[in-house]
Structure 1
Amino acid sequence: MLEGIYQNQVTSLLEQIRESQNRSELVKADAIDGVLDKARAREGFGQYIEKAVRSVNETQMASADMRDAYERGEDIPLTDVILAMQKSSLAFEATLQVRNKLLKAYEDVKNMPV
């Protein structure tokens, strides 16, 4: 059940980042046309964000697998399970904060007087 919730949150996060990227492409094209190679800059940032989100997702899935294994009675120390769950929770919260900061920065740039 938690895996589905985390997966939905991660998917939602990816959709919001992609939507923000699409909006920022329009602003970037008007503001700095010719300054940067747009395809390379967008691809690099997009790949970086996607890699980070995938890493968080992998951490959450590993945590869920470890929790499930513990619940099945496998030989996994409870402290390892709790540590993995806290790690995945912290990683997700940090990802949300980064997303919020990126969206705030985008809104600030979008609302700047030209």
Structure 2
Amino acid sequence: MKPISSLAPPPRPVNPFGTLSSPQPDGTSKVPKSGIDSFAKLLSDQVGNVNSMQNNADGMVHSLLTGADVNEAEVLTAVQKADLAFRMLLQVRNKLIEAYREVQQIQI
């Protein structure tokens, strides 16, 4: 049997929230701005990407309807990609709203 002194200390627990600090005595928590800003930037960028995909698809449909030399398969693919991206964005929005409502219902 090994003596107790040779045991290694237990590993430190993993913090899944990164650098979030514990709540302050006044009930607030200091959250680093970089995390909030990067998440907001990520969402904003994705909304912009979906918007540009939809604008591109609309332009291709307009070109097809006005008789321009456009491949129908490319137009259909662009419309389907824009539709799929928009549906995905709606699902992300729905999940965020659902999470927000769950947090609102937490009783302190």
1:51 paired residue number: 45
Query: Is 2:70 the counterpart of 1:68?
Result: no
Counterpart in the other structure of 1:95:
89
Structure 1 residue 109: deviation in Å?
Answer: 1.3
The total of aligned residue pairs comes to: 85
Q: Is the counterpart of residue 33 in structure 1 residue 7 in structure 2?
A: no
Query: For 2:80, what is the secondary structure of its paired residue?
Result: helix
How many angstroms apart in 1 are the aligned matches of 2:62 and 2:28? 50
**Cα distance 1:31–1:49, how it changes in 2: closer, same or farther (>3 A)?**
farther
Structure 2 letter corresponding to 1:67: V
| Partners of 1:102 and 1:53 in 2: CA distance | 14
Q: 1:95 to 1:31 in 2, by over 3 A?
A: farther
- After TM superposition, the structure 1 = structure 2 runs for residues 74-85 of structure 1, keeping only pairs within 5 Å, are 74-85=68-79
How big is the shift at 1:31?
A: 6.1
> Aligned AA for 2:78?
A
User: Unaligned regions of 5+ residues in structure 2, if any?
Assistant: 1-25
Percent of aligned pairs sharing the same letter: 31
Question: What's the CA shift string for 1:52-97, capped at 9, x where partnerless?
Answer: 0000000000000111111121111111111111111111111111
Structure with more of its chain in helix, by fraction: 1
- Structure (1 or 2) with the larger CA radius of gyration: 2
Q: Scaled by the length of structure 1, what TM-score is found?
A: 0.67
Alpha carbons of 1:101 and 1:31: their partners in 2 closer, same or farther (altered >3 Å)? farther
